A and B are shown apart, each in its own frame.
Chain A
Amino acid sequence: MNGPIGKPTPSIDGVQKVTGQAMYTDDLRFPNMLFVGLLRSPYAHARIKHIDTSVAKADLDVAAVTVGTDLPISFGVLAISPDENAMAVEKVRYVGEIVAAVAAETMEAARNGVKKIIVEYEPLREFLDPHESLETCREDEQIHSHTKDNKNIHKTAELRFNEPEKALGNSSFQRKESFKFAGVTHAFTEPHSTIAIWNGDETLTVISATQVPHYLHKNLSKVLELPMHRIQVKKPALGGGFGGKSDPFPHEMITAYLSMKTRRPVKCTFSREEVFITNHGRHPTQIEMSVGCDDDGKIIALDTDVIIDGGAYGSFGVVTSYYNGVLLQGPYKIDKFGFRTRRTYTNKPQCGAMRGHGAVNPRYAIEVILDMLSHDMDMDPCDLRQINFLPENTLTVGQLRITSNGVQDCLKAVRKKSDWDNRYRKLPYGRGLGVACGFFISGSALPIIWNRYPQTVVHAKLDFDGRVVMFSGASDIGQGSDTLLVQIAAEELGIPMDFVQVETADTKTTPVDLGSYSSRVTFMAGNAAKVAAEKIRNELACAIANEKGVPVDDICFSNGKIFTDDGTLDILWEDGVEIAMAGRGSFVKSGYYISPKMGGDFKGAGAGQSPAYSFGAFISEVVVNSDTGAVNVEKVWAAHDCGKALNPLAVEGQIEGSIHMGLGQVVSEDMRYEKGQIMNANFFDYRIPYSVDTPEMDVTIIESNDEEGPYGAKEAGEGPIHPVLPSIGNAIFDAVGIRMTELPLTPEKILAKIQEKN
């Protein structure tokens, strides 16, 4: 490869971002624009008896007021559980749920207008703990009327293969352990923000901080009862998502509706507290897991039972429920395998998809149990893992199709770099090393809304000016997908990157892409972009071959030139463009990506299916202060198999960011509630690691070159978070000999365990 693919490539929008010129949603303003204020519920579970909006409506600065009954059609990111409304209808289900909204001339007038709305509530029994929801909910007390058996169970996901429970009883070494994980949230820096504009031609433009313009587009159409061809959704620069901007949101529906109603531009931007209340973060989780090995250390069976606390609405919860189980099928070969996940509704802000979706907590559990088993059988934990790895090109017990697999190389790399063999179990008391592995999907093979379309389409347009514009619905949320599209076109056409520009994430001008979630964009949009650019190149080559009388297969594109190796053809890119445009002008070529058919024919077989899987192995070194219980993660050696690093700078950035986010969950982050009220909706009390808390990071990229990935690439955005947490948990055991099974691993919990042990 002669072009930018595989070379560290700075973001194409980097200069705009360092100079303050990049425009995020809240930076945009329009003439005559109104501002939204939202009235939120003070109750966790209550019937709405009456709403009086008359005083608010009489306010001269208030242009419109709206309540739940104005938008009665429910929605949700998954078509199978559309259980949320733009504003609460009949009852509220969590503290902070939106009950009414005001559009006013200024932000201050909107806040004042909200205060003038009077709501009468009748409190209902609150379910704040998942066990109450599972065990004590009586008839007619349910949070949602659609749940079965008078219980607050949103989803039970269960798969079993080859009777794992029988095999566990017969295994030579067995561990059954319980784990508890606090909920954590994305904490992206840009608060949610949406602008809606009702246009003179009776169309609606919604500009929003969203990871998935397409799903927002679909759900706006449903809730507003406006056909999709009259709605445009655009994503400007976006300040981080991590899954937290991948659902369509109530405030987006409300802002759009208020714009339709007032026929004026309307803006809604959240406060930081509102961002925390909106949540959609990782589910609080309880896991019971059993793993058995034979005499040689081969894993023979795994069985697990999981309860996830979903909060008041569905979000991605059905998928989360499956991912808590099915993504335990790798990177180890386990032939007797079973899980059950129950997702409960509770009266708290909803949980959804967050980096590493559904698989992060069970990954902690299995990796800690494997560490325990390695001690039980006096075997090195790296060796135990190594003998159990899945090979390349195999099927897991639940028929996940594993293709390229670099996990062996990942483990070898971190083992060597950390000097594991000379240091593990040999460090002084208080200092320890821990290892863990992981794997993750490169996009879901099945779209979450079933259809017959490809998962992404990319158009490449070539014009007289020699410029190529890549049109893609893919959302750059900071991960660098816009830069990737440019790299691919420049690579395929042999032109400098400045000849290529992008138009992305605009449902009016760009073809549908399913969005930036489940680590799908590099693999899927990357493949589609490559095909589109290849077609442009072929079109040019044919025209040039025809005019210049050279064999089409001999024509090369590189460094802004079009030539044959024998020298009979040697022209500039611009001259080639002129030849191809003769008599026809500008043209557009398209590429698409659609996953191959895969998976078994049992119910739930589609969950976790992906065209390729990333793999990783991490080793962490920690220092534990046995007097205070404080943990300092000093260094993390991270090796991740991303197939092929199309942009090593971006891949490293994803791995380093994953270490940061994993560290936060394992040592300090915790969504705390009292009586349904979030207690730490700010960055003082919700403790995220800052620069001084961040460990030294040693990143190794392993390239297994996947056959189906673009240039061999797989994902890198989510897989690297999985091994972070358990590698730290296992390092704490090596340091002070305690097993931490409840996250976050706060000093209090660690000190209590140390004291218990001594």
Chain B
Amino acid sequence: MEKIQLSINGSVRTILIDSHETILETLRNRLNLTGTKQCCNEGTCGSCTILLDGKPVLGCLTLANRCVDKEIVTIEGVSPGNDLHPVQKYLVQDGGLQCGFCTPGVVMTSIPFLEKNPNPSRAEIREGIAGNLCRCTGYKKIIEAIEDAAEEMNR
């Protein structure tokens, strides 16, 4: 076990971890931040996407001790106590989710994507979420939700 400090959603947590533990395991099993989902646990589905210093990373392929001295944002930290982020709002409103299991990963991928590409084309959105597996929606309404979010954020 090793003792580390992690900055998660703006608060600093001191915890004991196993050296080989992924940040996904740390978040879910030690910190009870279960909004980040474990779907494939091998980097193929995007369900465990979190932000590390603002960049999306896969929680299942990132060791917890590599997150020290970095700012972690999880799905729980996207809109704490506030109105939903436009991406979240339009995923709900446009029907861009069904079972919802991939949804936190879609949100965590889309937010930094829209920060980098405030006026994305449909093709760019498809590329932007190409690492997120959704088995329910056929992606159409997810793509429309991201378009609508972009439009609102540009207003």
Q: A191 — which chain B residues lie within 8 A by C-beta?
A: 38-39
Question: Does B63 reach chain A (CB closer than 8 Å)?
Answer: no
Chain A, residue nearest B143 (CB): A691
Q: B140 — which chain A residues lie within 8 A by C-beta?
A: 656, 694, 697
Question: Does B97 reach chain A (CB closer than 8 Å)?
Answer: yes
Q: A13 — which chain B residues lie within 8 A by C-beta?
A: 100
Cross-chain contact of A18 among B34, B91, B98, B125 (Cβ < 8 A): B91
Q: B7 — which chain A residues lie within 8 A by C-beta?
A: none
Chain A nearest CB from B73 CB (Å) reads 12
- Supposing A18-B107, A652-B141, A660-B138 touch, asked if A238 and B93 sit within 8 A by C-beta, the answer is no
Q: Are B92 and A10 in touch, CB under 8 angstroms? A: yes
Q: Are A272 and B101 in touch, CB under 8 angstroms? A: no
With A and B bound together, what is the CA distance between A656 and B94 in angstroms?
13
With A and B bound together, what is the CA distance between A223 and B121 in angstroms?
55
- Supposing A13-B100, A17-B100, A478-B99 touch, asked if A189 and B133 sit within 8 A by C-beta, the answer is yes
Cross-chain contact of B103 among A17, A27, A690, A692 (Cβ < 8 A): A17
Q: A691 — which chain B residues lie within 8 A by C-beta?
A: 125-127, 129-130, 132, 134, 139, 142-143
Cross-chain contact of A27 among B34, B94, B142 (Cβ < 8 A): B34
Q: Are A187 and B135 in touch, CB under 8 angstroms? A: yes
Which of the candidate stretches B51-59, B64-72, B74-82 sits at the interface with the other chain?
Answer: B74-82
Chain B nearest CB from A471 CB (Å) reads 22
List residues 86-131 of chain B with CB under 8 A from any CB of chain A.
88-89, 91-95, 97-104, 107, 125-127, 129-131
Q: B76 — which chain A residues lie within 8 A by C-beta?
A: 19-20
Chain B nearest CB from A722 CB (Å) reads 15
Q: B137 — which chain A residues lie within 8 A by C-beta?
A: 653, 656-657, 660
Q: B93 — which chain A residues lie within 8 A by C-beta?
A: 10
Chain A nearest CB from B109 CB (Å) reads 10
Question: Does A136 reach chain B (CB closer than 8 Å)?
Answer: no
- Supposing A683-B44, A683-B133 touch, asked if A692 and B100 sit within 8 A by C-beta, the answer is no
Task: Map CB proximity to B onto A15-29 as digits: 1 under 8 Å, 0 otherwise.
Answer: 111111111101101
Interface contacts (Cβ under 8 Å), in number, total 170
Question: Does A602 reach chain B (CB closer than 8 Å)?
Answer: no
Task: Map CB proximity to B onto A632-664 as digits: 1 under 8 Å, 0 otherwise.
Answer: 000000000000000001101100111111000
Q: B92 — which chain A residues lie within 8 A by C-beta?
A: 10-11, 14-15, 17-18
Question: Does A237 reach chain B (CB closer than 8 Å)?
Answer: yes
Task: Map CB proximity to B onto A299-343 as digits: 1 under 8 Å, 0 otherwise.
Answer: 000000000000000000000000000000000000000000000
Chain A nearest CB from B143 CB (Å) reads 7
Chain A nearest CB from B95 CB (Å) reads 4
Q: B143 — which chain A residues lie within 8 A by C-beta?
A: 691
Question: Does A8 reach chain B (CB closer than 8 Å)?
Answer: yes
Question: Does A190 reach chain B (CB closer than 8 Å)?
Answer: yes
Q: B101 — which chain A residues lie within 8 A by C-beta?
A: 24, 188-190, 239-240, 478
Question: Does B4 reach chain A (CB closer than 8 Å)?
Answer: no
Question: Does A477 reach chain B (CB closer than 8 Å)?
Answer: yes
Chain B nearest CB from A191 CB (Å) reads 7
Task: Map CB proximity to B onto A679-705 as digits: 1 under 8 Å, 0 otherwise.
Answer: 000111000101110100100000000
Q: B133 — which chain A residues lie within 8 A by C-beta?
A: 189, 683, 688, 690
With A and B bound together, what is the CA distance between A383 and B133 in angstroms?
39
Query: How many chain-B residues does the 8 Å CB contact rule pick out?
Result: 55
List residues 2-56 of chain A with CB under 8 A from any CB of chain B.
8, 10-11, 13-24, 26-27, 29
Chain B nearest CB from A479 CB (Å) reads 7
Question: Does A364 reach chain B (CB closer than 8 Å)?
Answer: no
Cross-chain contact of B39 among A186, A189, A690, A694 (Cβ < 8 A): A189
- Supposing A272-B40, A652-B141 touch, asked if A10 and B135 sit within 8 A by C-beta, the answer is no
List residues 469-495 of chain A with CB under 8 A from any CB of chain B.
477-480
Q: A26 — which chain B residues lie within 8 A by C-beta?
A: 34, 38
Q: B134 — which chain A residues lie within 8 A by C-beta?
A: 189, 691
Q: B79 — which chain A residues lie within 8 A by C-beta?
A: 19
Q: Are B84 and A189 in touch, CB under 8 angstroms? A: no
Query: How many chain-A residues does the 8 Å CB contact rule pick out?
Result: 54
Cross-chain contact of B98 among A15, A272, A657, A684 (Cβ < 8 A): A657
Question: Does A199 reach chain B (CB closer than 8 Å)?
Answer: no
Chain A nearest CB from B81 CB (Å) reads 11
| Most chain A beta carbons < 10 A, residue from B92, B94, B130 | B92
Question: Does B151 reach chain A (CB closer than 8 Å)?
Answer: no
Question: Does A162 reach chain B (CB closer than 8 Å)?
Answer: no
Cross-chain contact of B136 among A21, A237, A657, A683 (Cβ < 8 A): A657
Q: A649 — which chain B residues lie within 8 A by C-beta?
A: 94-95
List residues 5-55 of chain B with CB under 8 A from any CB of chain A.
28, 32-42, 44-45, 47
Chain A nearest CB from B39 CB (Å) reads 5
Chain A, residue nearest B44 (CB): A683
| Most chain B beta carbons < 10 A, residue from A189, A271, A690 | A189
Q: Are A19 and B88 in touch, CB under 8 angstroms? A: yes
With A and B bound together, what is the CA distance between A242 and B142 in angstroms?
19
Q: Are A20 and B35 in touch, CB under 8 angstroms? A: yes
Q: Are A682 and B138 in touch, CB under 8 angstroms? A: no
Cross-chain contact of B97 among A17, A27, A271, A684 (Cβ < 8 A): A17
Task: Map CB proximity to B onto A235-257 as digits: 1 under 8 Å, 0 otherwise.
Answer: 00111101000000000000000
Chain A nearest CB from B155 CB (Å) reads 20
Q: A480 — which chain B residues lie within 8 A by C-beta?
A: 98
Q: Are A652 and B99 in touch, CB under 8 angstroms? A: no
Q: B138 — which chain A residues lie within 8 A by C-beta?
A: 653, 656-661, 694, 697
With A and B bound together, what is the CA distance between A692 and B130 in angstroms?
6
Chain A nearest CB from B97 CB (Å) reads 5
With A and B bound together, what is the CA distance between A13 and B137 in angstroms?
16
With A and B bound together, what is the CA distance between A684 and B32 in angstroms?
29
Q: B74 — which chain A residues lie within 8 A by C-beta?
A: 20
Could you give 7 example pairs across A and B, Cβ below 8 Å? A18-B103, A19-B75, A19-B84, A189-B37, A652-B95, A657-B135, A694-B138
The 3 A-B residue pairs whose C-beta atoms are closest, nearest first, are A20-B35, A478-B99, A17-B100
Q: Give me the interface of B with A, judged by CB distance under 8 Å.
A: 28, 32-42, 44-45, 47, 74-76, 78-79, 84, 88-89, 91-95, 97-104, 107, 125-127, 129-143
Q: Give me the interface of A with B, judged by CB distance under 8 Å.
A: 8, 10-11, 13-24, 26-27, 29, 186-191, 237-240, 242, 271-272, 477-480, 649-650, 652-653, 656-661, 682-684, 688, 690-692, 694, 697
